[in-house]
Structure 1
Amino acid sequence: MFNFTALLGAQSESPASQSLLELDGGVKILVDVGWDISFNPEKLQALEKHVSTLSIVLLTHPTLDHLGAYAHCCKHIPLFSKVPVYATTPVINLGRSLLNDLYASSPLAASIIPSSALAESATESVASFLLSPPTYDEIASFFALINPLKYSQPHQPIPSPFSPSLAGLTITAYGAGHTLGGTIWHIQHGLESIVYAADWNQGRENLLSGAAWLSSTTGGAEIIEPLRRPTALVCSSKGVEKDTSLSRKKRDDTLISLIRETITQGGKVLIPTDSSARVLELAFILNQTWHENLDGPHADTYKNTMIYMASKSSSASVRYLQSMVEWVDDAVRGEAEAAMTKGKGQGRSVGMLDFTHVKQIERGSQLKRALSKSNPCVMLASDASLEWGFSRQVLQALATDPKNLVILTEKTSNIETASDTVGKSLWDAFRGQEGQISSQSGAKVVNVEGMKIDFRTASSEILDSDENALFQGYMARQRQMYSTVQDDSLVDATQTADLADDQASDSSDSEDEDDDAEHQGRALNLSAQLTQSNKRKVGLTDAELGINVLLRGKNVHDYDVRNKRGREKMFPFMAHRNRTDDFGDLIKPEDYLRAEERDDIDGVDMKARPKEVAAVGQKRRWDETAAASKNARILKVPNKRSKNGESSAPDDIDALIARATGQGENGDDGPNGVDGESENGDSDESDYEPEETAPDGPRKIVFTSESLMLNLKIAHVDFSGLHEMRDLQMLIPLIRPRKLILIAGEQSETQKLANECRQLLGDEGEGGATDVFSPLIGEVVDASVDTNAWTLKLSRELVKKLTWQNVKGLGIVALTGSLNVEAIESEKIKEGESAKKKLKLIKSEEPIEGKGVGMVKAAGDVVVMPVLDLLAAQDSTSTAQQHVTQPVHVGDLRLAALRQLVQSAGHTAEFRGEGTLLIDGAVVVRKSGSGRIEVEAGAGGLRLPQYRTKDNEGSFYAVRKLIYEGLAVVAGV
């Protein structure tokens, strides 16, 4: 069984992608946790309904469309963080960099709470409250949970705690192009072979390799065997309606020509793109161009132009790229490894992945200073939608100069928002106006002088008292709902301590029968379900807290227990449970640091938290001493910038933080910064800014409408890195899927590709035409393989004669027998009848519902099971000969391994062409694309030596023997 459901990204303008795959045995696989720039939590409701039944989650690309909602789901959807997640290492690292930039740049990314969920009496005038966004540390912890995989590495995943067994499930990642570490997933489960390919690119790029569809052993003429002839192919239809298709070299030349033409005139160039995926390809091209042209005819132009990579995680993205050399294209990897090898003995060598000409910008002050310079520059800024990140700020700064140019690298869709996005407005302006053809690049350039665009700017503010009460009520209801979903083992660490006292008291109450009646229906009581710390937050009184006021209340030292019953009469006790794992009690590594590993300031350990001094009358812990107050006074270090705006002299803490953020001793940002001395010789002062602290308390979103007059030029060069219609027309007939499911595209794109595929696959395949599905969001598609499975038993005599052979960890045997029927008693045997009584076979049979395929029910409640037994002895010899299974060879033989075996045996062996091995100049071994081995003997290949021994045979016979030894010969019984 295989059912497919598109939760997001099916015949929709939203590029977000979420797909649910349901397999036999209740196995559910979620592929991608995408989101779009609307950050609407209502789009995640369909996903939330399936979280408690998910087995695993697979991620394909480190983009907003494929994992934008991952951190949100881990933080705000119960049980989601308990589901095992699998992705490649670049997807993990670059995805983390993307979400760090997203939540640091856009307050809207925290997502707005629907007004209908705030209160029953909520009206349209209710403010737009924001959920608490995940912090930097939380994002790091969420991505640390993802299990990394390598390409072509079959893996048997571990199921979630609430998932059925995944026995027989194998997942394998293959290269998809488009992004670094982008993945085509192959999912094998029983008879189902599913290939999930979303947003792949067949063409090889400068930094990235193409999708791994074609086999190198056949010269790219056939699909690799694991991806060939799947039972279902899930493919994206995005990008099939491209107007023009440029080769990689023509595309790169067009981009460079547009940039050179603009900077020669003294203008600035803005290229809006993402934070950590496609921006690496653009930065790589620009860095190489600047490196190659510093001594050319345009050397002065390139020397006076700076390249900036502007996002709040740009340094991390570049650092991750340099640490993942094995994932880039072979040519780039070879050059990078050569540079590293050369740099070991002769100092650091500059390689292709060292972006020496690309400066990273991560702060607003750096961006303003870079844009204020009169020199031309090229700005790679996030995001491509111009709705968040630095790209909109750059556009506002460049809008008034007609010499400036905006280069759009991909089509921008219109998401369901109150107004068109800035990126969509620029795209419509480029598509809807007649432009001039550039004389140098040959590309269309549109002048939008006098064009006015309207957009919204989102900012966050603190809630007032009334709004805070409404917000806390919503959070209380959410906690009450989640507490019924999570059991004790699945509650997160922040709630475990608060729930411990309730759990301890519940166990004591269970021993008192009188108290059981009193606490009936306690799960429906809000005050009993809320954790004690959260009760105080929502403003519950001391009476509602009950006996726990001694722990939660301030300056409360007595409680009246007269006329109380059960837990209200006993002093509250919080049981502290020791956390253990398979190796014993958990330890904290920071407790065992050496003295030189600790961060000391004036002799005080920074790892030690300063303790507050208890005031007179307040409770105090037993281990608190007066030394805590002394430590607290020592640790009070003045901030670099005081409240009145006056800056104080840098202290040791500032120096440590500056070094940690990559700044030099003089306040510069190092080789990749923009504040130090540039190549032109100008030097800027340090703009060190401490990290902005997260606002305390809940926030609300406030939108302000703005307008911008444009007086610049717009061009488009396709750098989306997606497959085209001709790629699909070439590959889909070679893949030959039994079922084809199209996702991730607009309605027109999906319908166009579906019609084309029906024509291509109409007469293809075994058993008729291939079924092509184009589902809508939420539509369930039954794409199960058309097979029949039967259950039977093996007789004892037959089992004794089986000879199993081990082939790559699997036991294989071929057998021949006669199928008989054996009757066994059902559960409805009448009383008094013996369960061991032999029952005669009754010919009148009917299928049994719910008893499994291959079992039938006869009269008298008798279950009949087919049995495979040895052939009857009275069968004639001729009849027996017809049923004997001929020996077959099972396994796969690699020519490289055969070459080593032949050479070790004293023969000569060399490769002659693709898939051809020549041995002793007389025997040729060929391996076809289907895996068939062919051995041909030339002149002298069959000649036997004069004195033939056990180990002395001719070349042909020796090669045939080695091939047989590498395969399992399965003979019939």
Structure 2
Amino acid sequence: MGTSVQVTPLCGVYSENPLCYLVCIDSFNFLMDCGWNDQLDPSLLQPLARVAPSVDAVLLSHHDTLHLGALPYAIHRLGLSAPVFCTEPVYRLGLLTMYDHYLSRKAVSDFDLFSLDHIDSAFQTFIRLTYSQNYHLTGKGEGIVIAPHVAGHLLGGTVWKITKDGEDVIYAVDFNHRKERHLNGTALRSFLRPAVLITDAFNALNVHPPANQRDKELLGRCSCPSSFFLSFTLSFIHLRTTSSSHLSPPLTHSEKTVLKTLQGGGNVLLPVDSAGRVLEILLILEQFWMQHLLNYPIFFLTYVSSSTIDYVKSFLEWMSDSIAKSFETSRDNAFLLKHVTLLINKNELDNAPSGPKVVLASMASLEAGFSRDIFVEWASDSKNLVLFTEKGQFGTLARMLQADPPPKFVKVTMSRRVPLVGDELIAYEEEQKRIKKEEELKASMIKEEESKASHGPDKNLSDPMVIDDSKPTAFRDAGSHGSGYRDVFIDGFVPASTSVAPMFPFYENTSEWDDFGEVINPDDYVIKDEDMDQAAMHVGADSDGKLDEGSASLILDTKPSKVISSELTVQVKCSLIYIDCEGRSDGRSVKTILGSVNPLKLVLVHGSAEATEHLKQEFLKSKSTQVYAPQIEETIDVTSDLCAYKVQLSEKLMSNVLLKKLGDYEVAWLDAEVGKAESGPLSLLPISSTMPPPHESVLVGDLKMADFKQFLGSKGVQRRWNRQGGIVKEAAKGWWFSNGGGGVIHGGYVEEEAAVGCCEGEEKKKEGGYVEEATMDDVVEFGGGALRCGEYVTLRKIGSASQKGSGSGTQQIIIEGPLCEDYFKIREYLYSQFYLL
């Protein structure tokens, strides 16, 4: 039978809530992401609490709070104890994201949902993988292989591929097909016909305008001819959708840009995340400032800004090919930011020279952090600009400000810490002393109990002052004294055998020995490697770049203090602009990519109800894909209809098999019969007949016409354009052959009109009514849905829809043309793109 696959959403369906899904593959439970919103609402985690103890592994796709924000809380309070798999950047930057989130909350509240120690302990369970690395699970997950692939949304972002018995389950959320300054596009399009594809509908209703149209519009509004400025000019591009609930950015101040705001004497605030999309924005600003020699200061303000950039500098191999190539050739690190100042405290910003400035501050939702404080200070000045680069979460201040039209007044609760004084300080110190004494007493008792338990009771070391009443003695004077007393005089001068000399308590720690001597612990001799990025040099970081409660006090200034809150009504006079810099594929691209992947079963998650239904209806039209859109805690069975069996290949059978290399695999055509097996897997044996049955040749591979066109160009098959560039019709008469694949060639004598190309404005001449032989450098172009190779040979892909719908995974390529030299050369080049079995 096929691999059993069930999907149960725990959060993030029919809404934009955090992502968290349970995927069960043959009773092995994967938790796909473990996100939380910026409000840290515990009610969102109730479905997770019911299944957390049964989770066997956690797979994280991205390092923002929407994908891993609930992980410390789930491990600390919900009983989640499974290993966590991710890439190295997701581990490092996710750790810093959680630090920044915790410190932002702790600075303005008595935050107790989790602590820095809980964050550190949670991230100790991480297993880090590289892209395309196949990791074979063991134990309960025997036979399951997981592998991360490029998502293109955040640095280290992952599309997860889970394989069991030859069937693939793909988890691809928040992917981006476009190549950006610091990231390559997603690898999702490399997967063909997976059994299950789990993806999001977040941007299903958004359609971005073509890049050239957008660039032309932005260039018309900007006086600076900078290509980098195109992506960052704050001119608004209105995206019309069919959804009434879709966020529409404000239309006011549409002509206001970052540069115009600075030139007008105003400040620019960009509420950003801690270590995610902010990296792309930093590169945009850095390159634009460098190209136009601007001297306006740029500040990156988070609690972990220095550590973030230091880590990113060492992750060049995870970035785009252009960044890696630039570093290889010129040793130029793109994140050596010369125009950006890194700050970890708002006091440093307050002490900066006055004047126009650009500040990128966390958090993007304005729920807490430095961005909230700066917004309250700058909102009342009409010269200032607040630029949102991502859609705010529901219920947050950022989402409220992104409404159309934006509010003129907003009510905010501002909290801050003030030092304790007077009686409050005395009471606090006394309480701390009491707590400290109780903890020390409890620790000493635990230590004593552990010490006694490790050594056990010793009769020879019993307390000499204790008298055992159960033993008879000749020295007891029962008539004179009560129980428990004995005379101080004894007969003779020989002390009792149970008596010992007074001495201090001492326990000897014995070493463990085996047949070869004392057992050596290898950990005692391990030399700790210095962290390559020297994150420990920064304030609040240990040798592994982690923070503890003591180090956090250096950043938070945790002197005895209390939190006071006040309600403020803020008048919003500043400009409010929203530009989509989220780095996700738009709706049109999502439909195209999913159509090319063409999964057998498609599961839609994470998107508004309108977006989810829109994408669901779009793919319900396709007969080749089954579409599901489950509700919260609704379990759907997406088990494949295919049957898979485990078999054992006998040595006699494999001795006559010729294997051919196909990518990372070796393939061969096999003729065998199933042998009997009383226990264990079935055995494949050579067929009993002397001659194996004949079979048609099979061409294995995936041909892309665009790539094949470039291949022909590299072989000298190029176009020599005439001045008119026209195509003429000629009568082509002769023997025509069509190669339908599988080594079968169909032919016939035809006489019809065929479209051929003009070469240098002259028509080809014919001799004896037959088509003259064409040269290899005449024509290579697309036309009429076919690839024209030379003058007379044409390649067509036909029946793609029906082929995909059948689930066979085959494609039919037709070669059309007369029996000539060009035909055989093109056919030879075509065959070289496949593996013949």
**Contact persistence 1:107–1:459 (CA under 8 A):** no
**Contact persistence 1:5–1:19 (CA under 8 A):** yes
Q: What is aligned with 1:2?
A: 5
C-alpha distance after superposition, 1:588-608 (max 9, x if no partner): 569x899xx9xxxxxxxxxxx
Q: What is aligned with 1:787?
A: 642
Which runs of no fewer than 5 residues in structure 2 stay unpaired?
219-229, 236-255, 471-503, 514-518, 541-551, 718-774, 778-788, 790-794, 798-808
Are 2:364 and 1:364 aligned?
Answer: no
Q: What is aligned with 2:497?
A: none
Which residues of 2 match residues 132-531 of structure 1 at below 5 A? Answer: 132-135=114-117, 139=119, 142-143=122-123, 145-151=125-131, 153-159=132-138, 164-167=140-143, 169-213=144-188, 223-224=189-190, 227-242=191-206, 245=209, 247=211, 249=215, 250=218, 252-255=231-234, 258-294=257-293, 302-303=294-295, 305-340=296-331, 352-370=334-352, 373-414=353-394, 420-428=395-403, 431-433=404-406, 449=408, 451-455=409-413, 457=415, 500=450
Q: Distance in 1 between matches of 2:135 and 2:444?
A: 32
SS for the counterpart of 1:261 is helix
Q: What is aligned with 2:593?
A: 731
Q: What is aligned with 1:18?
A: 20
Change in Cα spacing, 1:939 to 1:575, as seen in structure 2 (3 Å) is farther
Which residues of 2 match residues 687-836 of structure 1 at below 5 A? Answer: 690-692=554-556, 705-759=567-621, 761=622, 763=623, 765=624, 770-789=625-644, 803-804=656-657, 814-817=670-673
Q: Distance in 2 between matches of 1:63 and 1:274?
A: 8
Q: Distance in 1 between matches of 2:164 and 2:192?
A: 16
Change in Cα spacing, 1:788 to 1:941, as seen in structure 2 (3 Å) is closer
CA-atom RMSD, angstroms? 5.5
Cα distance, 1:793 vs. partner? Answer: 9.3
Cα distance, 1:34 vs. partner? Answer: 1.2
Aligned-partner residue type, residue 814 of structure 1: L
Q: Distance in 2 between matches of 1:495 and 1:339?
A: 62
Cα distance, 1:729 vs. partner? Answer: 2.2
Aligned-partner residue type, residue 743 of structure 1: V
Q: Distance in 1 between matches of 2:509 and 2:446?
A: 10
Change in Cα spacing, 1:48 to 1:939, as seen in structure 2 (3 Å) is same
Q: Distance in 2 between matches of 1:577 and 1:56?
A: 39
Query: Could you state the TM-score of these two structures normalised by the residue count of structure 2?
Result: 0.64
Aligned-partner residue type, residue 724 of structure 1: D
Are 2:521 and 1:585 aligned?
Answer: yes
Q: Distance in 1 between matches of 2:539 and 2:358?
A: 24
Which runs of no fewer than 5 residues in structure 1 stay unpaired?
111-127, 214-222, 295-301, 341-349, 415-419, 434-447, 480-492, 510-549, 551-555, 564-570, 598-655, 663-687, 825-850, 853-864, 874-879, 896-910, 944-955
C-alpha distance after superposition, 1:38-59 (max 9, x if no partner): 2234533443444444333221
Q: Distance in 1 between matches of 2:468 and 2:712?
A: 87
**Contact persistence 1:86–1:148 (CA under 8 A):** yes
SS for the counterpart of 1:360 is strand
Q: Distance in 2 between matches of 1:201 and 1:657?
A: 30
**Contact persistence 2:275–2:308 (CA under 8 A):** yes
SS for the counterpart of 1:412 is coil
Query: Could you state the TM-score of these two structures normalised by the residue count of structure 1?
Result: 0.56
Change in Cα spacing, 1:700 to 1:772, as seen in structure 2 (3 Å) is farther
Change in Cα spacing, 1:319 to 1:501, as seen in structure 2 (3 Å) is same
Aligned-partner residue type, residue 146 of structure 2: I
C-alpha distance after superposition, 1:914-936 (max 9, x if no partner): 37875999999x99997999999
SS for the counterpart of 2:199 is strand
SS for the counterpart of 1:233 is strand
Cα distance, 1:502 vs. partner? Answer: 8.4
SS for the counterpart of 2:136 is coil
Q: What is aligned with 2:482?
A: none
SS for the counterpart of 2:710 is coil
SS for the counterpart of 1:93 is helix
SS for the counterpart of 1:47 is helix
Q: Distance in 1 between matches of 2:79 and 2:309?
A: 34
Q: Distance in 2 between matches of 1:177 and 1:293?
A: 28
C-alpha distance after superposition, 1:580-625 (max 9, x if no partner): 9xx94144569x899xx9xxxxxxxxxxxxxxxxxxxxxxxxxxxx
Cα distance, 1:395 vs. partner? Answer: 0.7
Q: Distance in 2 between matches of 1:716 and 1:143?
A: 34
**Contact persistence 1:893–1:967 (CA under 8 A):** no
**Contact persistence 1:48–1:77 (CA under 8 A):** yes
**Contact persistence 1:84–1:158 (CA under 8 A):** no
Are 2:83 and 1:97 aligned?
Answer: no
**Contact persistence 2:652–2:686 (CA under 8 A):** no
Q: What is aligned with 2:721?
A: none
Q: Distance in 2 between matches of 1:559 and 1:20?
A: 61
Q: Distance in 2 between matches of 1:495 and 1:90?
A: 43
Q: Distance in 2 between matches of 1:801 and 1:689?
A: 66
Aligned-partner residue type, residue 177 of structure 1: G
Are 2:683 and 1:886 aligned?
Answer: no
C-alpha distance after superposition, 1:443-470 (max 9, x if no partner): xxxxx55x132336487999999xx99x
Q: Distance in 2 between matches of 1:109 and 1:260?
A: 33
Which residues of 2 match residues 619-658 of structure 1 at below 5 A? Answer: none
C-alpha distance after superposition, 1:761-815 (max 9, x if no partner): 2x3x2xxxx2111112211111111123468899x9x967974555667796723
**Contact persistence 1:201–1:210 (CA under 8 A):** yes
Q: Distance in 1 between matches of 2:273 and 2:672?
A: 61
SS for the counterpart of 1:277 is coil
**Contact persistence 1:107–1:701 (CA under 8 A):** no
Cα distance, 1:254 vs. partner? Answer: 2.4
Cα distance, 1:359 vs. partner? Answer: 0.8
SS for the counterpart of 2:639 is coil
SS for the counterpart of 1:379 is strand
Change in Cα spacing, 1:109 to 1:95, as seen in structure 2 (3 Å) is farther
Change in Cα spacing, 1:579 to 1:930, as seen in structure 2 (3 Å) is farther
Are 2:29 and 1:28 aligned?
Answer: yes
Change in Cα spacing, 1:886 to 1:93, as seen in structure 2 (3 Å) is same
Aligned-partner residue type, residue 199 of structure 2: C
Q: Distance in 1 between matches of 2:444 and 2:698?
A: 59
Q: Distance in 1 between matches of 2:554 and 2:411?
A: 34
C-alpha distance after superposition, 1:925-967 (max 9, x if no partner): x999979999999859999xxxxxxxxxxxx99x99x989x97
**Contact persistence 1:6–1:779 (CA under 8 A):** yes
Aligned-partner residue type, residue 358 of structure 1: V
Count of residue pairs the alignment pairs up: 644
**Contact persistence 2:234–2:577 (CA under 8 A):** no
Change in Cα spacing, 1:379 to 1:246, as seen in structure 2 (3 Å) is farther
Cα distance, 1:557 vs. partner? Answer: 13
C-alpha distance after superposition, 1:672-700 (max 9, x if no partner): xxxxxxxxxxxxxxxx994446689xx99
**Contact persistence 1:501–1:575 (CA under 8 A):** no
SS for the counterpart of 1:740 is strand
Aligned-partner residue type, residue 390 of structure 1: F
Change in Cα spacing, 1:252 to 1:941, as seen in structure 2 (3 Å) is closer
C-alpha distance after superposition, 1:852-872 (max 9, x if no partner): 9xxxxxxxxxxxx99988777
**Contact persistence 1:311–1:362 (CA under 8 A):** yes
Cα distance, 1:31 vs. partner? Answer: 1.8
